[in-house]
Chain A
Amino acid sequence: MSALIGHSPTLLNPLALPMAARGDFWGGVWEKFGLLIIGVAAFAAVIGLLLFLVDRAPKRGRDILQLIVFLAPAVILLAVGLVYPAIRTGYLAFTNRQGDFIGIDNFVWMFTQPEILITLGNTLIWVALVPTLSTAIGLAYAVFIDKSKGEKVLKSLVFMPMAISFVGAGIIWRFVYEYRAVGFDQIGILNQIIIWFGGEPQQFLINSPWNTFFLIIVMVWIQTGFAMVLLSAAIKGVPAEIIEASRLDGANAWQQFVNVTIPGIRSTLVVVVTTISIATLKVFDIVRTMTGGNFDTSVIANEMYTQAFNRGEFGQGAALALVLFLMVLPIVIYNVRVMRKQREIR
């Protein structure tokens, strides 16, 4: 990798892209694609050369050299880029913006500041609602369309939001929620529907505390497809003989669903709920794009960014990141334990 980074300042010059800065569009494009090609070629050359050299190494000690070549890039990158930074963030959480050690002051600040308390509360609302709603709707939809005509197309429609960015989804829903005062034409479909039914237009993203709920809908909209695809695959994996047997025993559709299908897909349900929970705890882009965390809608991940990178309060940002980590931890531990049990049963 060191070839890419460059050790001397002269090597850094191509990275500065002076053409693009002058607004010369095509000049900038060629320079950027040039950099792309140089970067990929340099990477391929380094990896290729390493593999070639280690293959030619003297027999004695070749095994250990090969092991190092295969493992070192990943291990070094992770150690420097993830393990060390995570440990350092843990330490930064106990420092102030000058970097002095201040004990638990950042956590005292967090739990006494009204805005931050709202942020923590919002995060809990998110993690309670998003996994529940996404999984419930996804499961219902998967059951409803199972074996129906056009199942593939119907699946694609609900699954499609998974492919697009949170920012894109944020813009899509900004337009759905858009508000115009009474007397003007509405441009947001939701307010238009309210008016068709004789209601008053609402400022969905501004009126607290309901605005958090309207942001949550966006996340549910994205995650439902994920739940649906996984649960649909699991439902198809439930043995037909068991379903047939329960039918012969006189179970109706609902009883079959509760007594046969649900137990049959339990492990997938756990995976879906925990995965969505973790994604929800880390949600950042939706809040950033739709309200910027204003109007009492902030969540931990957004607040962490605001404190650390907008206000330069690295200590407080790190403390929020640490709280996020502590919230994710029990979910992951639970997930791993369920997986272990499953393996033992198998």
Chain B
Amino acid sequence: MSEANAEAVAELDRPIGQKARRPKGAGGQANRVKQRLTSRGATIAAIVIAAVWTIPTFGLLVSSFRPADDIAKTGWWTIFTNPAFTLENYGDVLFTSGASSTNLGAYFVNSLVIAIPATLFPIAIATMAAYAFAWIKFRGSGAIFVLIFALQIVPLQMALIPLLQIFAQVLGISGTFPAVWIAHTIFGLPLCIFLLHNFIAEIPAEVIEAAKVDGASNTQVFLRIILPLATPAIASIAIFQFLWVWNDLLVALVFSGGTVDVAPLTQRLAELVGNFGRNQERLPAAAFISLIIPLIVFFSLQRYFVRGLLAGSTKG
């Protein structure tokens, strides 16, 4: 059991579709071959691409620490000849309250209150469904699974209008946190079920059959075998779902009601940028407040992030 267990974990730990690493010797040869491709021109091109991809974000970061008057009057690159830094912008956009203030502190809280349940709910429901599709035999299993896979292609836009009508007229929850949670849960489910099914179906059958022979019910198999073994996969997919929800604007616009009580950061930022001229001193700091969580997640969990991405796109 424990051996099969370790094997299953190792299997799950690798991005789907990627074979075990080649022996060292072959890698060394590849090294030599590939170095010939990396000529001087290629190096310069790579550096140019890296610079173009980094400078816009860097410029905004620099701007966010400049005094408000400077942001609107001179470019961020003048800071190198005329240095002036302040943290005032951050204090201003986060904590100043009043009718015309940005109030981002409250929106930041909203983003958290939206994103945490909107990650936990679909992952929990999808893990259960993925287990059923992978390991409980029943008639119509294949057909329903294909249907759920197909739902991924339905653009969000196709569901917005009727779902809003259901929330507003049937349930009466339009413009509340639960409405946003449920909407994100529904829209996240097809991809989560599909990806988790890929992982869970790869768990060796012997492990599960052995447990069932010992008299374990589906619930016990699910809680004691599937969940522990699928944890790395669940983590990768959870990171994706979290970032997706945190960064979303469309679902928030339609279902949150757009007020400071419920709407997330993205919605407030879109509002601020709509009046660019009046808000340009605040926007750099405001944008970075919304970027900070995704960037922390990205840089600290990049390994899981890449794994989730590879799993999602090579489609087992």
Contacts and interface: CB of A to CB of B under 8 A. Distances in A.
Interface stretch (A105-113, A114-122, A136-144): A136-144
A15 B176 contact: yes
Contacts of A324: 155, 157-158
Interface string A283-297: 011001110100000
A244 interface: yes
A301 B250 CA distance: 10
SS of B interface (majority): helix
A284 B72 contact: no
Interface residues of B, number: 132
Interface string A1-34: 1001110010010011100110101001100110
Given A146-B37, A165-B246, A70 B128 contact: yes
Nearest to A57: B217
Interface string A155-191: 0111111111111101111111010000001111100
A92 B203 CA distance: 44
Interface stretch (B4-12, B84-92, B229-237, B293-301): B293-301
B49 interface: yes
Contacts of B168: none
A240 B26 contact: yes
B290 A47 contact: no
Contacts of B276: 174
B154 A271 contact: no
Contacts of A148: 38, 43, 46
A293 B260 CA distance: 25
Contacts of B81: none
Contacts, number: 381
B177 A15 contact: yes
Nearest to A47: B124
Interface in B241-275: 243, 246-250, 253-254, 260-262, 266, 269-270, 273-274
A159 B243 CA distance: 14
A77 B219 contact: no
Among A51, A186, A188, A317: residue with most chain B CB under 10 A: A51
A85 B22 CA distance: 48
Contacts of A308: 160-161
SS of A interface (majority): helix
Interface residues of A, number: 134
Contact of A285 (B30, B249, B262, B302): B249
Contact of A237 (B18, B148, B248, B299): B18
Given A20-B260, A92-B161, A156-B302, A166 B249 contact: yes
B129 A73 contact: yes
Contact of B155 (A66, A71, A244, A321): A321
A146 B156 contact: no
A243 B269 contact: no
A81 B163 contact: yes
User: Closest 8 A-B residue pairs measured CB to CB?
Assistant: A165-B247, A81-B186, A163-B298, A240-B30, A85-B162, A74-B129, A85-B159, A144-B46
